[in-house]
Structure 1
Amino acid sequence: MSLTINAQIDRVEPPFWYAGMYNPEVQIMFYGKNIAQYEVTASNSIAITELKKTENPNYLFVTINTKNVAATEIIFSFRNKNQIAFTHKYSLKKRREKSAERKSFDASDMMYLIMPDRFANGNPKNDSNSKTVEKYNRDLPGGRHGGDIQGIIKNLDYISSLGATAIWSTPLCEDNDKAFSYHTYAQSDVYKIDPRYGTNEDYVRLASEMHKKDMKLVMDYVTNHWGIEHWMMKDLPTHDWIHQFENYTQTNHKRSTISDINASKTDTEICLDGWFVTTMPDLNQSNPLVLNYLKQNAIWWIEYADLDGFRVDTYNYSDPAGIASWTKAITDEYPNFNIVGEIWMHNQAQMAYWQKDSKIGAIQNYNSNLPSVMDFTLHDAISTVFNEDDGTWDKGMVKVYDNFANDFLYPNINSIMVFAENHDTNRINHVYQNDFRKYQMTMALIATVRGIPQLYYGSEIGMSGNKDNGDADIRQDFPGGWLGDENNAFTKEGRTFGQSQYFDFTSKLFQWRKTNEALHFGKMTHYIPENNVYVYFRYTDNKTVMVMMNNSNDNQTINTARFKENIKEYTTGKDILSDLTFNISKEIILEPKSVVILELK
């Protein structure tokens, strides 16, 4: 009897899997017209532990146990009345050596954030694609501009020259929206790189090229929502695959309701289940099929593309139990894998609630399992502090001091991402009107405090942008990323004087940071700001860094005797920015709006 191979199968996800995983079970989703009418068997004595059918006959979820099974080809036979109707070959692949022990990003890294569509166009041939709706239009501020994976690969040396050791790219999976698809947060296929960025193989090549340069690739993962154009939205596996309401309901964004003991159930439900926007259906992580799909998709990308970490978008918009389970599934497979979640809140206790092993979360018997969170309260302070010339009880450098005074709330303070801006905020050079001294203080702070510093592409050459003018203004094209650009800031020769000033400072600062262990995992002692001057130390047993930041408009004389407990027997310090040596046993005069970073000798 001849067999029809792959008839009635339109999609198989995950498309393949790996042998030797910590969790030996994998749930394979087969999609095709009326596929649920079949019974399924597997070759090679592979055990099918569950055959799950839903109200939609076009889906069949087949769970197999791969324990003690070596890499192999599995033949799934689809039977109707004991007759084989068709078969499907499924690969169980060999893992990379020591895949489970992969090292992730940590506080010794500096992360460079890229919006790939706006960074560099390395392959103009993929600017538009016949299978995606929105076409290339660089003249449209919110359109597709053509940046791609090849553009990132082409400029890895530039990124590395900044002192960056990791790249966080905003999502690269397909987004087939009719407009504004360039940000790629409304994904239409989470197993496929958007063809306007390149191919899945290009993404694997990006990771490989980065690893050759000792750099780490961090994927921006979205657990909360997909795009309205996702292929499943046309034919949902189950009605409750996404959250649905009688009338369109948008999230209230009030994530404090999750931990608020006084919150109404209605408010909490709308926060968690409401849609982010009309084009982003809200995924239901409390549905076991959805949750397992998201777990396996994330693990598949780590294994397939050899990833080094995740940044998770809108982390605490997801079902709390579901997202904690998702995170644990990943860190069970990869114990050293770091995941930083976007917890966009303005209160340290509410942010610390979401970090793994939080004692605050434990009050409510909750553990997110999330290794790292983003320090949005520090971002809040940075967004105003260097425009506050007079230090008062709650203005000026006291804002920064008070932020670190709450570090005791976090279970792992070194695993906090610190940043001045990102793709959703005003650019810091707009906030400070391209005042170079204020940029220096901002970056010096990010580089020398606890946590993992993140730099947003283009800030290092003075790029500015006002969110009030629309998102496109804070996501402008990097000059030199396109053939024919008048100004190529990727090269020393192509940078203007102003761009070089920003770049040279940023590169010097973060290249130095790479070499200084006190800034990676050292302790921190800070002193109450006086006259809008903030002084703090980062130190290990054998290395000490002293940072002095004068945020006033006047010269300030610093009596170093106040800092004896940290200065100890040190007598001099070399400023890593100016290369000048300071005698720290005497008074030090700081210029207005300036920073000095001393390696003590």
Structure 2
Amino acid sequence: MKKLLSLLLLFVSGVNFAQIQKTEPPFWWAGMHNPELQIMFYGKDIAKYAPSVSNNVVITNVVKTENPNYVFVTIDTKNIPAQELTFSFKDKNKTAFTEKYSLKQRKAGSAERESYDSSDMIYLIMPDRFANGNPNNDSDKSVTEKADRNNPGGRHGGDIEGIIKNLDYLQELGATALWSTPLCEDNDKQHSYHGYGQSDVYKIDPRYGTNEDYVRLSAELKKRGMKLVLDYVTNHWGAEHWMYKDLPTYEWVHQFPGYSQSNYRMTTQFDPNASKTDARQCMDGWFVPSMPDLNQSNPLVLKYLTQNAIWWIEYADLGGFRVDTYSYNDKAGIAKWTKAITDEYPYFNIVGEVWMHDQAQMAYWQKDSKIAAIQSYNSYLPSVMDFTLHDAFGNVFNEDKSGWDSGMQKVYDNFTNDFLYPNINNILTFAENHDTGRFNEIYKGDFNKYKMAMTILATVRGIPQLYYGSEIGMAGDKGKGDADIRRDFPGGWAGDSNNAFTKAGRTAEQQKFFEVTSKLFTWRKGKDVIHNGKMMHYLPHDNVYVYFRYNDKETVMVIINNSNESKTFGTARFGESLKNYTSGTDVVTGKDINVKSDITVEPKSALVLELK
């Protein structure tokens, strides 16, 4: 009876206890570059009320859709100091309920924050498979799928705490930035561990931890001079997203009506001969049935996604984005989204997944592309992923002889098209990621082939990215399904047979992989000649590829012998690069080599020589 009376008193007093179920963004900041803030209020029949706001703040727009449970209120925050606002919702000029809203103080220098660049090495993890730092959150009553480590495609319990506990490992490896696949709530009934079917984009999945844990991860990385990169998904949400279950408007997602799958033909985005129906099917079609395709051409959607992205940057003090399936978005909408973020943060780096196999087509998507300019298009996207180099990595080390377009000639040819990119130093290079075949599976754990690949990755232009476990020889067969290329990191769970996070816990084979990776990328940290230097390469002879990275201060000579025989060769033809240098020190072994006489290189091996 007492409880009933209390609820009645709350109702009579006009206090809001249920009318507003969600407010997004949940808070904002004063002094942002773009002062226009769109706040979404959600609650049962909320659209029948007229909103107003305190402290002389101006409401510039109110949008109500066909769904009465939403109202989108835009306010002008220009010259408004940090404070707590009060929104009032009136029915026939009588206040029915109110809602507090905070404008917070920004951190000093937030807009000018540093982001990842060519001086970084990005380490990519699947958080559910990396380390379980807090077994108490392996399952949670608020989400459907529970932990089951015996199920390869199930939840295994890796979490934010596990990442934090192993940051020293990443630092020892030479990583300077961490990219985690999405950590926001994914409430799919199965296979939710990958995180790309998000059900709440303002909330960290409780099986990973809390929003506060994510902020703590960012802070712990910054203490070590490292950056946190968020994997952002603009193209789609999961079918369990709370907004999909009660759409603000029919046009919030692409409808045909209902579901229609993408044709995945990204060339239709710029093909002058493409039919409109094929272009629409690529851009508006759903990636898979469980991932509703978001309509970035709708201003409400675009503003929602833009503000959500900025909210995470500001809230978690992020150091960059990787954007999933970038080239499947509405191309005009995604360009506006990207520009809005980089206008707010001029030095913020964003790499887009443009999974194509032609450099001109990939370069189209990089900011200020002269290729895209032919069609009067600019994506404003600072960085793209070098999928053609990845393609070469996938088979070149099994090609023991150089042909017209095979062996090391294939790697050489990749760099001949560097002129197509507006900013060649700002593209992401990688041998594998969470969606591709595992390098050490393709090459059957061959250490020499791994060393050649890492040598190239550590010494060519761009931003290198390493996929977790590569550095200890981890494999996995994509033919058996995605779960096999996303295995648990050994030592991340209590009771694991070996702990590869420590030297004492690694097997001899794991240590061999780790040591060469750590030496290469730790050395790379301090090498501006690699980060920003020029490249000169020489046509491969006998499957031996030689290239130089150089600037006004120093030169590094890289030799890759991809043949299965020892090779001895003279250095006279490299005179243009060798100049007056007489010797070089191998950064892995520390051995000195005379570069003015013949050089002998062991089969399937690599040398990185700092010239003297």
TM range, smaller chain: over 0.9
Look up the SS of the partner of 1:101 in the other structure: coil
- Which residue of the partner structure matches residue 19 of structure 1? 30
Uncovered stretches (5+) of structure 1, i.e. residues with no partner: none
Of residues 97, 107, 113, the one that matches 2:118 is 107
Look up the SS of the partner of 1:4 in the other structure: coil
State the shift of 1:569 in Å: 1.0
State the shift of 1:63 in Å: 0.2
- Which amino acid letter does the alignment assign opposite residue 293 of structure 2? D
With structure 1 as the length reference, what TM-score do the two structures score?
A: 0.99
1:539 aligns with 2:585: no
- Which residue of the partner structure matches residue 152 of structure 1? 163
1:261 aligns with 2:272: yes
- Which amino acid letter does the alignment assign opposite residue 325 of structure 1? K
Cα separation, 2, equivalents of 1:77 and 1:597? 66
- Which residue of the partner structure matches residue 241 of structure 2? 230
Superposition pairs of residues 517-556 of structure 1, within 5 angstroms: 517-556=528-567
- Which residue of the partner structure matches residue 290 of structure 1? 301
- Which residue of the partner structure matches residue 587 of structure 1? 598
Of residues 154, 161, 176, the one that matches 2:172 is 161
Q: Deviations over 1:112-168 (max 9, x none)?
A: 000000000000000000010000000000000000000000000001100000000
State the shift of 1:556 in Å: 1.2
Look up the SS of the partner of 2:609 in the other structure: strand
Cα separation, 2, equivalents of 1:246 and 1:365? 31
User: Are the counterparts in 2 of residues 7 and 86 from structure 1 also a CA contact under 8 Å?
Assistant: no
- Which residue of the partner structure matches residue 348 of structure 2? 337
- Which residue of the partner structure matches residue 241 of structure 1? 252
1:68 aligns with 2:79: yes
Look up the SS of the partner of 2:212 in the other structure: helix
Look up the SS of the partner of 1:36 in the other structure: helix
State the shift of 1:6 in Å: 4.8
Cα separation, 1, equivalents of 2:24 and 2:331? 25
User: Are the counterparts in 2 of residues 19 and 92 from structure 1 also a CA contact under 8 Å?
Assistant: yes
Superposition pairs of residues 103-182 of structure 1, within 5 angstroms: 103-182=114-193
State the shift of 1:314 in Å: 0.2
Cα separation, 2, equivalents of 1:442 and 1:483? 32
State the shift of 1:517 in Å: 1.1
Cα separation, 1, equivalents of 2:47 and 2:387? 47
Superposition pairs of residues 468-547 of structure 1, within 5 angstroms: 468-547=479-558
State the shift of 1:247 in Å: 5.8
- Which residue of the partner structure matches residue 577 of structure 2? 566
State the shift of 1:249 in Å: 1.2
Cα separation, 2, equivalents of 1:467 and 1:28? 43
Of residues 246, 263, 270, the one that matches 1:252 is 263
State the shift of 1:233 in Å: 1.1
- Which residue of the partner structure matches residue 6 of structure 2? none
Cα separation, 2, equivalents of 1:387 and 1:276? 33
Q: Deviations over 1:68-101 (max 9, x none)?
A: 0110000000001000000000000000110000
Identity of aligned residues (%): 69
Cα separation, 2, equivalents of 1:491 and 1:246? 54
- Which amino acid letter does the alignment assign opposite residue 471 of structure 1? D
Cα separation, 1, equivalents of 2:120 and 2:329? 28
Of residues 443, 446, 465, the one that matches 2:457 is 446
- Which residue of the partner structure matches residue 328 of structure 1? 339
Cα separation, 2, equivalents of 1:406 and 1:258? 21
Look up the SS of the partner of 2:40 in the other structure: strand
Look up the SS of the partner of 2:111 in the other structure: helix
Cα separation, 1, equivalents of 2:375 and 2:28? 37
Runs of 4+ in 1 over 3 A off after TM superposition: none
User: Are the counterparts in 2 of residues 16 and 92 from structure 1 also a CA contact under 8 Å?
Assistant: yes
With structure 2 as the length reference, what TM-score do the two structures score?
A: 0.98
- Which amino acid letter does the alignment assign opposite residue 66 of structure 2? E
Look up the SS of the partner of 1:30 in the other structure: strand
State the shift of 1:7 in Å: 3.9
Cα separation, 2, equivalents of 1:67 and 1:515? 42
> Aligned pairs, how many?
601
Of residues 344, 350, 357, the one that matches 1:346 is 357
Cα separation, 2, equivalents of 1:5 and 1:251? 43
User: Are the counterparts in 2 of residues 162 and 507 from structure 1 also a CA contact under 8 Å?
Assistant: yes
- Which amino acid letter does the alignment assign opposite residue 549 of structure 1? I
Q: Deviations over 1:324-383 (max 9, x none)?
A: 000000000000000000000000000000000000000000000000000000000010
1:433 aligns with 2:474: no
Worse overlay, 572-581 or 217-226: 572-581
Cα separation, 1, equivalents of 2:569 and 2:531? 27
- Which amino acid letter does the alignment assign opposite residue 423 of structure 1? H
CA root-mean-square deviation: 0.7
Of residues 305, 310, 317, the one that matches 1:299 is 310
